[in-house]
Chains A and B, each alone.
Chain A
Amino acid sequence: MANLAQLNLRSKGDEGMLRALLEDLIEHFKSVYPSPPLHFPLALAVWFSKNPQSPEQSILALFEGTGKDGFVELKNLSLLWKTGRSEPPFANVYSTSVEYFARVLVQEPETLKNYIDNSEVLFFDKKFLPKPVLDAFGILTEPAGLLKGWYVSAFDYEKENTTGRLLSSRGNIRPEVGLVKTQESDDFEHCRGLLHVEVSQRWLPLSPGGITSYSYYSDFRNDQPGYFIFEGGSLYKILKFEVKTEPNYATLVLEAPRDGRYPEVYLRAVHPHLSA
């Protein structure tokens, strides 16, 4: 109970309010360069050198596509700007391009230490951020070992019956399903795993209830064959689904379901060019 008594809820509340004000400012940054030819979307906003008690806060903002080197500094922006007041808390904003930041991160990482230490990511758009930047700020968007791919209905499988055709017809669309394998046979012909979907830029495991919304499950329940093709070209046929409680799987996913229950899919590798 001693720890509970030491909680400073007032200070936590003040930090929450400050975070909300900073997020409102960042929301405004998203529309600074909204459309061509000055279409430079905000890719990352970080609250760094965090000190909620200070009258001045620091924000790093990375924009995509500006092509500019170096940092532009905006000092003393009042976080009460919406009310027309110019009083604390203030924000000092340091902005640059994703490309420049990523390059310096590789070449001279120590010069960026100040932006990374004691920081909190307030906004990110992962499609604009290279992996070193995501890693530097500890932004986790997918679990280790995630395969990303697409569902292939029996109709598509019959029509595009080579791996190349199946892959090329999906080359322009983002992956819609993820798989984290939980077991694989020694000959790599059979495996089973946890299916994932993308929710707010993060790949999360499907729940037993959530999986019922998707075609691969409803087709299976209607006794129609279904397949998954993953980036790189591995193609699997769906054999069955099983819902199970498996606490150990919590280590394989970004967010474990509260009840620890997962729908696990059983798959068999198929080789269309051999069976055709």
Chain B
Amino acid sequence: MADTLKYTCEQCIHICQPDLSFVPPELFRNADIIRRDLAELVSAASGEREKSVTILAGCAFESILYTFILAQANFISARRGTFQFNSGAALDNFVSIFNKWFIAVLPEAAIPEVVVRYRDLVHINREIAYPADICSRAAREMLALLNNLLRNLSQFTP
């Protein structure tokens, strides 16, 4: 029981019951998309669909970081001097910006590079390089890492 994806996901309370208070009201569409992605992620985990969970979790990471960085552009600008949000940036850029500007205030929220590598398992040439059980591991780790990010963001106060 303890090693099923369903059980792992049920332990991730910030995915199952997300607190999106870090999303400002004007970005309500972003919040809707994040909620939908998280709901689909929970559904995929309940069905033990490891590859779907891995990819959907990567998608949720991108949606959440995109929205959070967009919402906190002034926070970054105040520390950096100037900051222009690039909506076309890729997940690794968002991870890099987040780790650079928010770890000082959210030290437990550091996002490891493995998140981008697991999200890239969407490409068969990436997955084939890994051992056969990679999606099983990646799905569980992505759930835990995403839960950790959401937990930290729910505590964020600029």
Contact = CB atoms under 8 A, between A and B. Distances in A.
B133 A19 contact: no
A5 interface: no
A214 B141 contact: yes
A21 B84 CA distance: 11
A207 B80 contact: no
B59 interface: no
Nearest to A30: B93
Contacts of A197: 112-114
A155 interface: yes
A56 to B, nearest CB: 19
Contacts of B129: 172-173
Interface stretch (A90-98, A198-206, A243-251): A198-206
Interface string B111-129: 1111001000000000001
A23 to B, nearest CB: 8
Given A20-B80, A24-B84, A215-B141, A198 B133 contact: no
Nearest to A156: B131
B81 A222 contact: no
Interface in B74-117: 79-84, 95-96, 99-100, 107-108, 110-114, 117
B82 A198 contact: no
A198 B108 contact: no
A62 to B, nearest CB: 19
Contacts of B8: 218
Interface in B18-52: none
Given A213-B144, A224-B3, A198 B112 contact: yes
Given A170-B131, A176-B114, A222-B3, A199 B99 contact: yes
Contacts of A155: 133
Given A153-B133, A156-B131, A200-B100, A222 B2 contact: yes
Nearest to A176: B114
B141 A213 contact: yes
B158 to A, nearest CB: 18
Contacts of A16: 79-81
Interface string A147-160: 00001010110011
Nearest to A160: B131
A258 B107 contact: yes
30 contacts: A16-B80, A16-B81, A17-B81, A20-B80, A20-B82, A20-B83, A24-B82, A155-B133, A156-B132, A156-B133, A160-B131, A170-B131, A173-B129, A173-B130, A199-B112, A199-B113, A200-B95, A200-B96, A200-B100, A200-B113, A201-B113, A204-B110, A210-B110, A210-B148, A213-B148, A218-B144, A222-B3, A224-B3, A257-B107, A258-B107
Which 6 pairs across A and B sit closest by C-beta, in order of nearness?
A213-B144, A17-B81, A20-B81, A172-B129, A197-B112, A200-B99
Given A17-B82, A201-B113, A209-B108, 15 more contacts: A19-B80, A21-B81, A24-B84, A156-B133, A170-B131, A174-B117, A176-B114, A197-B112, A198-B112, A200-B113, A204-B110, A213-B144, A213-B145, A214-B144, A218-B144
